[in-house]
Amino acid sequence: MSRHHRQKNEMRRDVPIGTPSNTGIETTDIEAVEQEENLSFATNGLTPIPQQVTIKPAFVEHYKRLLGPRYDEFMQYSLSYITKSIRVNTLKVTVEELRKRMEQDWILTPVPWCKEGFFLKYRHYKRFDIGNLPEHQLGMFYVQDAASMIPPVVLDPQPGEMVLDLCAAPGSKTTQLAMYMQNRGVLMANDVSGDRLKPLGLNLQRAGIMNTLVTLRGNGPLNQGALLFDRVLVDAPCSGTGTIRRSLKTLQMWSPGLIHRLVAEQRKLIELGYFVLKPGGTLVYSTCTQEPAENEALISWFLARHPDAEVLPISLDIKRSDAIVAFDGETFNPEVAKCLRIYPQDNNTEGFFVAKIRKKDGNA
């Protein structure tokens, strides 16, 4: 389940490997999945995660309809370790300076779509937690999945602007936005959970962020339209099926009912974000799920409600998959083809969806 999803879920006891439970769930280990699904991790140089995994038959059926012949590869990557990545915080250090500090012990490979991002691998055999590095404690870099860097890059906030991060905690994208703004202008970092504001505040402090106002819910000034923003990021709570390799519980928690509830919340969030967006402004909607209902279908629904909204193309140096323009008998607005959809196997990252929307200013 995505790091964003905050609802409480009931946990069930493990059942014997391969034995169906009364909920229609099967629990097995990844080696068994490899054999049953005819997966070959070694083919792509992947290392399977040595844990039990819970897969619902309904999930398998649903994702085979969505992915077709790409389903096996999707599961290979989803059940394997992800390559670690970091983003240099240029408010504290230049990209080249940090690279020189780390290259003796780490192999750094640039992330093509984010000039501050690097995939990294430890040069030595002994395991080392990158979070313990002094450079991390000093806020010189943020440990962040490379796909997670995409939404702030696409939003492209500028110094001096008014920017809203509607679902900010724990702060990876917030700190990236503030970095691009060079600590100038105003960045409102909002979240709906007070418990999540503490780590957000700590991350902002460590990164040296000084232009950010942290708000809880922000319902008053936001719902009343008292504040308008040049750019808005809606990194929405989601079912997280692009992040299975970070949390195998995502497979266990997945259900059509969960998706239905999340879509209702996502609709409210994108509506609020668009409401406080200035004419001529840009909104980026993103999720780390592969579900069409939470992505292309939601954007299609949104466009039907807002004739003044236009989807902008996203140009990045990244391998992408085609956006979903029809699924399960539903045809979406053809403009959703401009959205960015990536699966874990496309770039060996998390899966992500990003839509870039402009509010027409009346003169266009």
Q: Where are the beta strands (DSSP E) in 298-343?
A: 309-312, 326-327, 330-331, 340-342
- DSSP of 251-271: HHH--HHHHHHHHHHHHHHHH
pLDDT in tens, the chain (364 residues): 454 444 333 322 222 223 233 334 444 555 555 545 556 665 578 999 998 887 999 999 999 999 999 999 999 999 999 999 999 999 999 999 999 999 999 999 999 999 999 999 988 877 778 888 999 999 999 999 999 999 999 999 999 999 999 999 999 999 999 999 999 999 999 998 788 889 999 999 999 999 999 998 765 667 777 789 999 999 999 999 999 999 999 999 999 999 999 999 999 999 999 999 999 999 999 999 999 999 999 999 999 999 999 999 999 999 999 999 999 999 999 999 999 999 999 999 999 999 999 999 876 5
The secondary structure of residue 83, as a DSSP letter, is: P
Closest of 167, 271, 283 to residue 225, by C-alpha: 271
- DSSP of 93-106: S-HHHHHHHHTTTE
In this prediction the pTM is: 0.89
Domain locations in the chain? Answer: 85-146, 147-359
Q: Where are the beta strands (DSSP E) in 78-211?
A: 85-88, 106-110, 117-122, 141-143, 162-165, 186-191
3 state DSSP class of 2 = coil
CATH topology of domain 147-359: Rossmann fold (3.40.50)
Q: What is the pLDDT of residue 216?
A: 87
Hey, which residues are catalytic here? Answer: 288
Q: Are strands 52-55 and 85-88 parallel, antiparallel or unpaired?
A: unpaired
Token pair of 235, please?
């990194």
Distances (CA, A) of 228 to 100, 164, 198, 282, 283: 41, 9, 26, 12, 12
Residue 14 — φ and ψ, nearest 5°?
Answer: -65, 150
Select from 3.30.70.1170, 3.30.930.10, 3.90.245.10, 1.20.140.10 the CATH code of 85-146: 3.30.70.1170
